[in-house]
Structure 1
């Protein structure tokens, strides 16, 4: 998808900031053998260990990841470009899971109903196709509940971040029985072979909606269970009563986080007519210029390169199309003048008058662009724009000092997460599920409700004599 080169059976793993080769990673050719090993390891893993014992082993794996954080965080930056500070935050977040494990353990406990007991039973072999934008966190978000539930797991990291995926999986697998957790490297053909294998009982994927639909099609003949976190085009609604400084700060920060390469990145900002011009001024003159573009290994840079030259061309096309069709360029940053050939830096860009019919408005962009659209300020129009102008429904945000208005709008927006005067992802409790509505997801993960997707309930009835 990202145009990652493959040569002599190896992924050519390159740094998007420099174009330099990091490593050559051999593509897995023995997919059937790996699945068979996972299948053979399933029964002893699921039947001879308790949920508590499995969780204790997983905690040891997370301690291992914490111990290598000074190696893992820079590797993330080198492979996919995000600023080192963001990579460090990702690694620190995956290692801090005490409350998470308590909720997970509670979700796996038997429930007694008179003469009936409901237990949780593992599914079997689970395949995780992990993304490149959060290459450590997204593996563990899915692997931890899958393993704790008694499943065996095969992780195929994105071909963009193969070494990060390998390091995370090997760190966790060190404390687990042989073949309970394995890694398979490669492109979409390896993923397709895993999804289509008849011994695989569940597929988890974070990625594009188009890829998710292909996975569902492949999984359908066997009715494999799927948890798919897919694309997004998240709206942010700024009403005229909003705290404009706070809203403008968040509009910029959460459009540009990870260079805009986040499924729940803010990609559509609807600003009430009464405050539109002032808001645009604060965004473009006060906040956007603070985000310097450059190599993520240099701490002063808050926006790294895009993940690949393919992604850079995609974002360039969206921005140029918008300008050609009438969008106004309010601000555009510089990029490193000495950027080497093969790097993929894209300037921080602020555009107003972004409208329907522009690719920047209609499609997922995934780049460091702040896209502003004027609306009347009416509640009904805001809801209709948020819901009807995109097939996606991952996250969203509403900014207003009117609490009743905020609650009304939040309950009507078709999205899995809605932030009121905040960005939901940054403030969600660990007990909450992460859900994509519409074409942003199929199934869901996290929170007790999400953890339960990695096992099946079984009712055992024992009537006393």
Structure 2
């Protein structure tokens, strides 16, 4: 997950990737201020943890709902800071505002539970650092902050330096809804993130690149700090000969190009059975041609600019290497004319017959490329190719034979496998979002993920009849 942003005179130089113009200069949090922030969080946390769970849930629901007051500002800022097209920004903001059910589910996951003559209660870790990414700048901070806060932790949120203004809006909504010191916002680049990770905190939750995740894990090891890391992916899509080709081609293109391909679970490798390769390629080329690149504010544009020049150049380098190695470009969608010199547009591109040794098959691309390769159509080859990666975030299997789909899915080492669908769009919120292999550590979302923000403690009674029916006003759930 390459990005790139300038820091000048202690400020983030926040630029519009569609124009290259400076939007704002945002003050970085000096690393010297980090100990005081941690001290404030530690002082506020015990009272917050002692607040009844139902009250914590209510306050957090109110924080999400309050984002509606700044809906238009939030949508516009997302488009300007990271280049997302308006329709995608509106969808993200609506999801963030509507997180009430999500918060209720987190609360239910944290409720005390009776297991025979035992009572399992949950203790907050203490102070949690949340480092959120730039590709979903409004919703991703909530996916980590909400379970951390609901569990009774105090949180220091550091949004990506690429999207400091969006991060400030989300952070402000949380801060205003909660007691003083429970949620604090830190701004800055990796130096600020490193200072927070190395501070006297009890947990770090981060969504970002695998390289950064490894650095965080190493920094947290001496203190045995708890971790939730949702990292990169190189997600394969398997298209068998009996698949619904129209749907498969639609999804291969749409979910390779969604958010300009800047999604951890984007389709990045498409393996299509040789028997249908030509037909599938033609469909993909036709569909991708409609993905015109341009300003996210233009209604006729399907993808916006890459988030930065560094990101664009990394994708261009992968494409150039693949073409020189023998890959064929089947189609490139247009870039809307009139782009200013500082714009970071990259045309949606479909290519095929990419040699396996190319970086485009190995490294995370995070850009608007549809990469097609043939395979012999067998289940064994499908699983082998899907697993031929250091990553294991998501995978996708397309076939009308659901028994075959299930067999192949179970052989793929990935946290989630979409069967004739894109799992990010279809997964229930109570399903955990997991990165296998180099794609993560710990669980993100779902009951399993939400419970990682606290420690279970078992209270053992002489007899099941002695277990109380409520704890601090929260009803005990009987398993």
Normalised-by-shorter TM-score class: over 0.9
Which whole-Å CA distance do the structure 2 matches of 1:341 and 1:113 have between them? Answer: 64
Alignment of 1:37-76 (within 5 A): 37-47=40-50, 49-76=51-78
2:367 is the counterpart of 1:364:
no
Q: Matched residue of 1:174: which SS?
A: helix
Alignment of 1:11-160 (within 5 A): 11-29=12-30, 30-47=33-50, 49-160=51-162
2:8 equivalent in structure 1 = 7
Which whole-Å CA distance do the structure 2 matches of 1:424 and 1:113 have between them? Answer: 33
Which whole-Å CA distance do the structure 2 matches of 1:406 and 1:463 have between them? Answer: 48
2:475 equivalent in structure 1 = none
Report how far residue 421 of structure 1 moved: 0.8
CA offsets per residue over residues 73-94 of structure 1, 9 Å max, x none? 1101100001011011001011
Report how far residue 54 of structure 1 moved: 0.4
2:251 equivalent in structure 1 = 250
Which whole-Å CA distance do the structure 2 matches of 1:405 and 1:115 have between them? Answer: 44
Report how far residue 32 of structure 1 moved: 1.3
1:436 equivalent in structure 2 = 435
Which whole-Å CA distance do the structure 2 matches of 1:418 and 1:426 have between them? Answer: 12
The root-mean-square deviation of aligned C-alpha atoms, in Å, is 1.2
Which whole-Å CA distance do the structure 1 matches of 2:108 and 2:57 have between them? Answer: 12
* Preserved CA contact (<8 Å) 1:99 1:430: no
Report how far residue 61 of structure 1 moved: 0.6
2:389 is the counterpart of 1:386:
no
Alignment of 1:48-447 (within 5 A): 49-198=51-200, 200-285=201-286, 287-387=287-387, 389-447=388-446
Report the count of equivalent residues.
461
Report how far residue 371 of structure 1 moved: 0.2
* Preserved CA contact (<8 Å) 2:159 2:186: yes
Which whole-Å CA distance do the structure 1 matches of 2:281 and 2:230 have between them? Answer: 32
* Preserved CA contact (<8 Å) 1:65 1:172: no
Report how far residue 104 of structure 1 moved: 1.4
Report how far residue 180 of structure 1 moved: 0.4
Q: Matched residue of 2:237: which SS?
A: strand
355-364 or 70-79, larger mean C-alpha shift: 355-364
Q: Matched residue of 1:246: which SS?
A: helix
* Preserved CA contact (<8 Å) 1:206 1:228: yes
Which whole-Å CA distance do the structure 2 matches of 1:50 and 1:342 have between them? Answer: 51
Please give the TM-score of this superposition, normalised by the length of structure 2.
Answer: 0.95
Report how far residue 282 of structure 1 moved: 0.7
Which whole-Å CA distance do the structure 1 matches of 2:55 and 2:247 have between them? Answer: 45
CA offsets per residue over residues 215-269 of structure 1, 9 Å max, x none? 0000000100000000000000000001110000000000000000000000000
* Preserved CA contact (<8 Å) 1:229 1:444: yes
Report how far residue 114 of structure 1 moved: 4.6
Instruction: Give the unaligned 5+ runs of structure 2.
Output: 467-479
Please give the TM-score of this superposition, normalised by the length of structure 1.
Answer: 0.97
* Preserved CA contact (<8 Å) 2:291 2:334: no
Q: Matched residue of 1:290: which SS?
A: coil
* Preserved CA contact (<8 Å) 2:113 2:120: yes
Which whole-Å CA distance do the structure 2 matches of 1:276 and 1:241 have between them? Answer: 12
